[in-house]
Amino acid sequence: MKSYLYLSFLSIALSACATQKYPTASNYPGNQQDTQSQTPSTPPPGDYPDGNAPVILPGERPSSTPSGTNSRNSRTSQDNGRSASSEIKVLDIKLTNDYTIVKFLFTNNHKPQVQNGRQVNDGSQNIGYSTSSYLIGGDGSRTFKFLKVLGIPSVNISTQDVNKIGYKLASGKSISFEVYFERLDHGIERFDVIECNYDQFVCWNIYDLFADNPLKPVVIAQPTPPTSPTPSTKTSKSSKTGEVIVKAPEEPKQNVSVSGRVLDIKTNAPVSATIFYKLSASANAVDSVQSFVNTGIYRMSLPKAQIYTYIASAKGYIAVSDVLDFSKSANKERISKDIYLTPIKVGDKISLNNIYFEVSKSDLLAASFAELNKLVVMMKENDHMEIRLEGHTDIVGDPEANLELSQERVNACESYLIKKGIATSRIQAIGYGDTKPIIKKGTDEERKVNRRVEFVVLKL
């Protein structure tokens, strides 16, 4: 993120990027301070005084690679991802055992501003990286937290001012920096970087990034072959003279048994539901299980060392999704997990919390698919259900443009549902622009709730 210092931009905002708080965003793990984020007092190695960015040749990689790094990449830095800002691009992506490390290059393209022969602005920008940034992959089913940044300051927009703590970069200069995130699940190779999500600001969002990150295979341990026993001539009640008694070796259990109950969140009554589950990196469901009508009990057996996502859906209820992470629980053989569903009725209005569009556009990002797929599953489970999709923007900007943008965005959501097999007759789509804000005053952070996509249940 960056701060505009041009006078012509002051009417918009001093900070060109303000961040939303998402459920997965956090500071350093364990609620510790981000002590490893670095602010250069002098130009760091990535700051090129001559203003020339380094040239990365196809297949070329930095000489220093952290231990356990996978730096293979089928795409070069020049064609890896689409940036929301022309000033920022990705140079490299590294996968270690613990981190996803994204190396960025920022170039300050602002020119000094002169009025009446007098320089009123030197074109410099104060920059920092938002602590609320995260990666999103698996078509939106998985998010990965920001951990630290090296090379420029980290900024918590809610409590800090990038104009005061940001790194000041002169006009025409470039700086590279590395951002550490949680490691991508094995098998997730395409993902987005979401630094912030505001239509009126420039955010350092990068879409459709690729990293070579193959699915981790399930290793089936082979049993140890039995040693030749010494023949026994003892007689017992359960054996005959001369019979050799050999205890067969136990087969190692390669699956985790997951069980629990599906319950009504209001009454705790058992619910008969279908649970669709898949590998987090897969676009298609692996299988599904049904919970029992009388008890709500379900059971499923899943291979260890993998990460799964699931959607639970039942007639008359809102579908829910969650994650089952077995990647770091190799010794666990049984997991208990209850699932709670919320009943729906005609007139209910439900927010679609994780819908992503390109900044100031109506292009639906792949990161939205997981949230929309829950709605698809719910509408297929409730085959008479009809809905009205409603799109809203913030109160900032031109009202007519906001109205048009909100309509185009709900149209994009409607098109996705139709492609997934939901009949057009079951969906209405209306964009309200900025006419129905949740709050009319407050900071950009507080007004983020105004930008939303909802659906209203018209028929069940």
Distant-in-sequence, close-in-space partners of 17: CB < 8 Å, separation ≥ 6 = 1, 2, 130, 157, 162, 195, 196, 198, 201, 202, 203, 204
- Structural domain includes residue 447: yes
pTM of this structure: 0.74
Integer Cα distance of 358 and 364 in angstroms: 7
Residue after which a domain boundary falls, among 282, 309, 343 = 343
457: pLDDT strictly greater than 50: yes
Same domain, 314 and 363: no
Same domain, 304 and 375: no
Pick the closest to residue 306 from 450, 442, 185, 436 (CA basis).
Answer: 185
- Indicate the DSSP class of residue 220: -
| Confidence at 248, pLDDT banded by 50, 70, 90 | low
Residue 386 belongs to a domain with what CATH number? 3.30.1330.60
Residue after which a domain boundary falls, among 144, 179, 210 = 210
199-240 pLDDT, tens digit each: 556 789 999 999 999 987 654 444 445 545 555 555 445 445
Integer Cα distance of 26 and 34 in angstroms: 10
Residue 266 belongs to a domain with what CATH number? 2.60.40.10
Q: DSSP per residue over 51-116, as a string?
A: SPPPP--TT---S---TT-B---SS-GGGS-EESSTTEEEEEEEE-SSEEEEEEEEE-----EEET
Same domain, 170 and 200: yes
CA distances to 182, 211, 216, 333, 393 from 96, in Å: 10, 12, 14, 27, 39
Integer Cα distance of 27 and 101 in angstroms: 16
Q: Which domain holds residue 264?
A: 255-343
Same domain, 177 and 86: yes
286-308 pLDDT, tens digit each: 789 999 999 999 999 998 888 99
Q: DSSP per residue over 177-211, as a string?
A: EEEEEEPPPTT--EEEEES---TTS----EEEEE-
Same domain, 69 and 163: yes
Structure tokens at 34: 């981000």
- Structural domain includes residue 295: yes
Q: Are 148 and 375 in contact (CB under 8 A)?
A: no
CA atoms within 13 A of residue 451's CA, in its CB half-sphere: 24
- Structural domain includes residue 240: no
Distant-in-sequence, close-in-space partners of 424: CB < 8 Å, separation ≥ 6 = 418
Same domain, 282 and 405: no
Q: What is the pLDDT of residue 231?
A: 53
- 242 backbone φψ class: left, alpha, beta (φ>0; ψ -120 to 50): left
Structure tokens at 172: 């025409």
Mean pLDDT along residues 372-395: 95
- Structural domain includes residue 133: yes
| Confidence at 29, pLDDT banded by 50, 70, 90 | very low
- Structural domain includes residue 226: no
Same domain, 286 and 386: no
Residue after which a domain boundary falls, among 343, 360, 390 = 343
Same domain, 378 and 326: no
Same domain, 315 and 391: no
Same domain, 309 and 355: no
- Structural domain includes residue 241: no
Residue 114: CB atoms within 10 Å: 10
The dihedrals phi and psi of 112, each to the nearest 5 degrees, come to -55, 145
CA distances to 319, 349, 377, 421, 429 from 344, in Å: 10, 9, 14, 22, 20
158-208 pLDDT, tens digit each: 788 888 889 999 999 999 999 999 999 999 999 999 998 765 567 899 999
Same domain, 51 and 112: yes
Same domain, 39 and 165: yes
Q: How many domains does the chain have?
A: 3
